[in-house]
Copies of this chain bind each other. A is one copy, B any other.
Amino acid sequence: MSESSGSTLRVRLDLAYDGTAFSGWATQPGLRTVQGELSAALATVLRAPQPVQLTVAGRTDAGVHARGQVAHLDVDRAAWDALPGRSDREPGEALVSRLAGVLPSDVVVSRAEPAPDGFDARFSALERRYLYRIADPGAERDPLRRNDTVWWRKSLDVHAMDEASQALVGLRDFAAFCKQREGATTIRTLLDYSWRRLPDGVLVSTVRADAFCHSMVRSLVGAVVPVGEGRRRPEWPRDLQARAVRASEIHVMPAHGLSLEEVVYPAEADLADRALATRARREHS
- A8 at interface (Cβ–Cβ under 8 A)? no
- A72 at interface (Cβ–Cβ under 8 A)? no
Q: In the complex the two chains form, is B105's CB within 8 Å of A144's CB?
A: no
A108 to B139, alpha carbons, bound, how many Å?
Answer: 13
Give chain B residues whose Cβ lies under 8 Å from the Cβ of A17. 143
A259 to B108, alpha carbons, bound, how many Å?
Answer: 23
Give chain B residues whose Cβ lies under 8 Å from the Cβ of A146. 18, 105-106
Mask for A83-111, Cβ within 8 A of B = 1, else 0?
00000000000000000000001111010
Q: In the complex the two chains form, is A143's CB within 8 Å of B107's CB?
A: yes
Give chain B residues whose Cβ lies under 8 Å from the Cβ of A67. 140, 142, 144
A259 to B141, alpha carbons, bound, how many Å?
Answer: 15
- With an 8 Å Cβ cutoff, the count of chain A residues facing the other chain is 19
User: 16 A-B contacts, Cβ less than 8 Å apart?
Assistant: A16-B140, A16-B141, A16-B142, A16-B144, A17-B143, A18-B143, A18-B144, A18-B146, A67-B140, A67-B144, A105-B143, A108-B141, A108-B142, A108-B143, A110-B141, A144-B147
Give chain B residues whose Cβ lies under 8 Å from the Cβ of A141. 16, 108, 110
Q: In the complex the two chains form, is A16's CB within 8 Å of B110's CB?
A: no
A105-B146, A146-B105 known; A140+B110 contact, CB < 8 A: yes
Q: In the complex the two chains form, is B140's CB within 8 Å of A144's CB?
A: no
- A148 at interface (Cβ–Cβ under 8 A)? yes
Give chain B residues whose Cβ lies under 8 Å from the Cβ of A208. none
- A129 at interface (Cβ–Cβ under 8 A)? no
Give chain B residues whose Cβ lies under 8 Å from the Cβ of A148. 144
Interface residues of A in 26-85 (CB under 8 A from B): 65, 67
Interface residues of A in 102-124 (CB under 8 A from B): 105-108, 110
Q: Can you name the residue of chain B whose Cβ is closest to the Cβ of A110?
A: B141
